[in-house]
């Protein structure tokens, strides 16, 4: 099983151009045949291409560098060298490319821009037949091929989903995702069961939308505790955020504020999205407990075990996304 990766840096280079040929025609009845060295072939381009069948950058985990093929050198009888083959790198859609040495954004592979020409191959050198003149009949010079372009490229993949699930560890996000979709996330009673973002499609009435479940957030995640908060980039495109809070939580208002504070430290604009607090595991709570919790937060109540409140929550999401 490939490792799930959303960021990786690789050295990328296009192909070098082939050298031009220094050659002179030698034939039985042409003692002064003259120069006939052919041109070198151009180096191959390096192209990044989006692929729907790839869900992360894990297939690049053990790769340090990638290069396109060099052009072949020219030959006698004015034969040009063969052009180097282009190199195609497949990545998931919504992958951004950055030149780390120049701190430049190079582009984003998306549905509207499925391929990006990252680097063009080096130009092939001209053979010596190009340099024959009236005063220089036997040029012993040909151009070398130009080198390909290359640098370290950061590939950064972001999940695109309409709904983001946020919460502390072990509050029922994975159980909710499994109950409303065909996804099969890892479910357990221990902290940080979800170690990577999980994506699933949910159907509601005649509508469908993508939901992403993130690893748990704890206090000081922004300082590197737990799984950190770097994965929050996967909810940047979300329209609605669900803040999951355990029904047995003694202070849901405080937990809600912790989640908001950690997200604020990552990107304050995320808090401008629609946020719906969701109290989970209500099958384990008494009515009195639920009433007291609703005094602090205008929230939804669900149980992934019994299904209570699930349909109502999905209908609310459907309304927000219309």
pLDDT top residue among 97 and 169? 97
Q: What is the pLDDT of residue 27?
A: 76
Is 210 within 8 Å of 162 (Cβ atoms)? yes
Q: What is the pLDDT of residue 79?
A: 96
- Residue 191's pLDDT band, with cuts at 50, 70 and 90, is low
Q: What number of other Cβ atoms are within 10 A of residue 70's Cβ?
A: 27
E strand or H helix that includes residue 95? strand 95-99
- Of 37-51, 197-211, 282-296, least confident by mean pLDDT is 282-296
Q: What is the pLDDT of residue 16?
A: 98
CA angle, corner 164, sides to 310 and 196, nearest 5? 110
Q: What is the pLDDT of residue 229?
A: 79
Per the structure block, which two tokens stand in for 127? 């053979």
Does the pLDDT value for residue 274 go beyond 70? yes
Q: What is the pLDDT of residue 186?
A: 67
- Residue 3's pLDDT band, with cuts at 50, 70 and 90, is confident
Q: Which domains does the chain have, with CATH numbers?
A: 1-157 (2.70.210.12), 163-321 (3.40.50.300)
Q: What is the pLDDT of residue 224?
A: 76
Which residue's entry shows tokens 């029922």? Answer: 172
Which residues are CB-neighbours of 58 under 8 A, at least 6 positions away? 2, 3, 4, 5
- Residue 11's pLDDT band, with cuts at 50, 70 and 90, is very high
Burial, 163: exposed, middle or buried (Cβ in 10 Å; 0-12, 13-18, 19+)? buried
Does the pLDDT value for residue 291 go beyond 90? no
Which residue's entry shows tokens 């590197």? Answer: 224
The b-or-e profile of 195-221 (16+ CB within 10 A means b, else e) is ebbbbbebebeeeebbbbbbbbbbeeb
Q: What is the pLDDT of residue 189?
A: 55
Average pLDDT, the chain: 90
């Amino acid at each position: 099983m490939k490792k799930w990766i959303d960021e990786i840096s690789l050295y990328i280079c296009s192909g070098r151009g082939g050298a031009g040929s220094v050659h002179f025609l030698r034939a039985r009845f042409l003692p002064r045949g003259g120069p006939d060295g052919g041109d070198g072939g151009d180096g191959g381009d390096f192209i990044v291409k989006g692929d729907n069948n790839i869900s992360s950058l894990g297939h690049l985990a053990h790769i340090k560098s990638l290069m396109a093929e060099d052009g072949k050198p020219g030959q006698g009888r004015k034969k040009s060298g063969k052009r180097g083959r282009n190199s195609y790198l497949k990545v998931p859609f919504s992958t951004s490319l950055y030149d780390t040495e120049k701190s430049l954004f190079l582009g984003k592979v998306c549905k509207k821009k499925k391929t990006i020409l990252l680097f063009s191959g080096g130009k092939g050198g001209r053979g010596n037949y190009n340099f024959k003149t009236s005063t220089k009949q036997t040029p012993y010079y040909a151009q070398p091929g130009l080198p390909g372009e290359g640098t370290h490229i950061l590939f950064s993949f972001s999940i695109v989903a309409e709904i983001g699930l946020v919460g502390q560890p072990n509050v029922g996000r994975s159980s909710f995702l499994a109950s409303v979709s065909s996804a099969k996330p890892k479910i357990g009673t221990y902290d940080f069961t979800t170690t990577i973002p999980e994506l699933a499609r949910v159907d509601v009435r005649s509508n469908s939308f993508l939901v992403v479940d993130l690893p748990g957030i704890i206090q000081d995640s922004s300082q590197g505790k737990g799984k950190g908060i770097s994965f929050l980039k996967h909810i940047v495109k979300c329209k609605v955020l669900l803040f999951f809070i355990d029904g047995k939580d003694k202070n849901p208002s405080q937990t809600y504020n912790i989640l908001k504070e950690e997200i604020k430290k990552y990107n304050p604009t995320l808090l401008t999205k629609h946020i719906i607090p969701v109290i989970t595991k209500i099958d384990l709570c008494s009515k009195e407990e639920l009433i007291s919790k609703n005094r602090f937060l205008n929230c939804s109540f669900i149980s992934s075990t019994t299904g209570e409140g699930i349909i109502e929550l999905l209908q609310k999401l459907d309304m927000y996304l219309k």
